Amino acid sequence: MVAKSRVVILGAGPAGLTASIYLSRDGLSPIVITGDLLGGQLMLTSIVENFPGFPEGILGPELMDLFKNQAERFGARLVYDRVVKVDFIVRPFKIYTSNDVFEAEAVIVATGASARLLGLEAERRLMGRGVSVCATCDGAFFKGKDVAVVGGGDAAMEDALFLTQFANKVMIIHRRDRLRASPIMQQRVFSNPKISFKWNSVVKDILGEKSVEGVLINDVNSGAEEILNVQGLFVAIGHLPNTEIFKGQLELDERGYIVLKEGSKTSVEGVFAAGDVHDHKYRQAITAAGFGCMAALDVEKYLGLR
Ligand SMILES: Cc1cc2nc3c(=O)[nH]c(=O)nc-3n(C[C@H](O)[C@H](O)[C@H](O)COP(=O)(O)OP(=O)(O)OC[C@H]3O[C@@H](n4cnc5c(N)ncnc54)[C@H](O)[C@@H]3O)c2cc1C
């Protein structure tokens, strides 16, 4: 089947769904291809306390359900499939999912990013229950507690420093005997009295059934095991933008993020991008939603509606 729509949005996280709210409310009835995670990364967490409008906080999946309902109320058409290939050379653009082909005059790419994980069973089970991939989002939950950060790059050091504002103690677990982080970040973490290090160590398991009660680490040289009594574990070993299918179609930077030209415009006229798929700096639901709004308005301008 070939389905035609003036606009197709790839991804249904905060960015894609916000774009779809704007476009559907303006009468464009966009098709939104959801991928495997309708609602995006917030589906992987519990309470969200920093999204404006919810003074008591709201569960991530509940928040994303509200986004979806708002988009559908105005006529956004959700397609529960995953994009496997795109052709942005032809006009109209072609988007291939596992089952169908879609044609569009304009496309918004909002496929987000995925945090790299350690790959432990307990990590998924305790995500949002002491395990976090976002210090900015979850740091405030750890007032007066002891936490660990896994990683050795700038992002991990930034997280560790940020967490010292709340936590009692912050332990950095790193698999090597030196950091990859820039000298200035190293200087800051080494001079912070709340931060200590577990060198040459990897996380073997996360302890606790309903919340984090400790972390089992393993010395890569001696094989010795140790339990760290922490209530939080921040995994800061990087993010992967979901851009594999855009290689050769859109300009990507060296890390795979989509490069924007002006506003939400990508290297291909008529293709726009929004959210974590291009933004490796802020990575927040509210910024992703804001970028989704920008992309929708840019699409309307491109289609001559503004
Ligand atoms: C555990 C966790 C907790 C967080 N907590 C907070 C918080 O408290 N506050 C906050 O502001 N931020 C938080 N964040 C960050 C926030 O979730 C992200 O910044 C935000 O979701 C990014 O939105 P996005 O729409 O750009 O991408 P995403 O949310 O990553 O959504 C991407 C969408 O693209 C789809 N997709 C991917 N590949 C394809 C494909 N090939 N075809 C079709 N669709 C595809 C996915 O299915 C998904 O629907 C958290 C993140 C995580 C992981």
Pairing of strands 58-59, 47-48: antiparallel
pLDDT of residue 2: 87
pLDDT of 69 reads 98
**Which regions of the chain are under pLDDT 50?**
none
Q: How far is the CA of 115 from the centre of ligand 1 (A)?
A: 10
Q: Where in the chain is the domain with CATH 3.50.50.60?
A: 2-114+239-302, 121-235
Token pair of 2 as six digits: 């070939």
Residue whose C-alpha is closest to residue 296's, from 91, 107, 105, 79: 107
Residue 96: the pLDDT is 98
Please report the pLDDT score of residue 1 as a whole number: 79
Confirm if 172 and 156 have CB atoms less than 8 A apart.
Answer: yes
Helix (DSSP H) and strand (DSSP E) numbers for the chain = 7, 19
Ligand 1 centroid distance, CA of 41 (Å): 3
Picking from 302, 144, 147, the residue whose alpha carbon sits closest to that of residue 236 is 147
Dihedral angle, C-alpha 40, 41, 45, 50, nearest 10 °: -100
CA of 229 to the centre of ligand 1 (A): 30
Give the residue, by CA position, lying nearest to ligand 1 atom 7: 137
Long-range contacts of 192-195 (CB under 8 A, 24+ apart): 192/160, 192/161, 192/164, 194/164, 194/167, 194/168, 194/169, 194/170, 195/160, 195/161, 195/164, 195/170, 195/171
Residue tagged active-site, from 26, 65, 100, 138: 138
**β-pair partners for 241:** 113
CA of 225 to the centre of ligand 1 (A): 34
Q: Report whether CATH 3.50.50.60 matches the domain 121-235.
A: yes
pTM here is 0.93
- Clarify whether 253 is annotated catalytic: no
Please write the tens of the pLDDT for every residue from 112-140. Answer: 999 999 999 999 999 999 999 999 999 99
Quick check: 273 and 266 in contact, CB under 8 A? yes
CB of 78 within 6 A of ligand 1: the answer is no
Query: Mind giving me the DSSP string for 215-260?
Result: EEEEETTT--EEEE--SEEEE-S-EEES-GGGTTTS-B-TTSPBPP
Whether domain 2-114+239-302 has CATH 3.50.50.60:
yes
- Please identify which residue in the block is written with the tokens 């398991």: 205
The single residue of 26, 100, 137, 298 carrying the catalytic annotation is 137
115 lines ligand 1 (CB under 6 A): yes
Ligand 1 contacts CB of residue 11 (under 6 A):
yes
Q: From atom 33 of ligand 1, which residue's Cα is the shortest distance away?
A: 11
Q: Which of 10, 22, 42 to mutate to test the pocket of ligand 1 (most atoms within 8 A of CB)?
A: 42
134 given a catalytic annotation: yes
Residue closest via CA to ligand 1's atom 52 equals 41
Residue 46, pLDDT score: 87
DSSP 63-128: HHHHHHHHHHHTT-EEE---EEEEE-SSSSEEEEESS-EEEEEEEEE---EEE-----HHHHHTBT
CA of 240 to the centre of ligand 1 (A): 12
What is the enclosing helix (H) or strand (E) of 273?
strand 271-273
Q: Are 42 and 63 in contact (CB under 8 A)?
A: yes
Instruction: For ligand 1, pick from 34, 41, 48 the residue to mutate: most ligand atoms within 8 Å of CB.
Output: 41
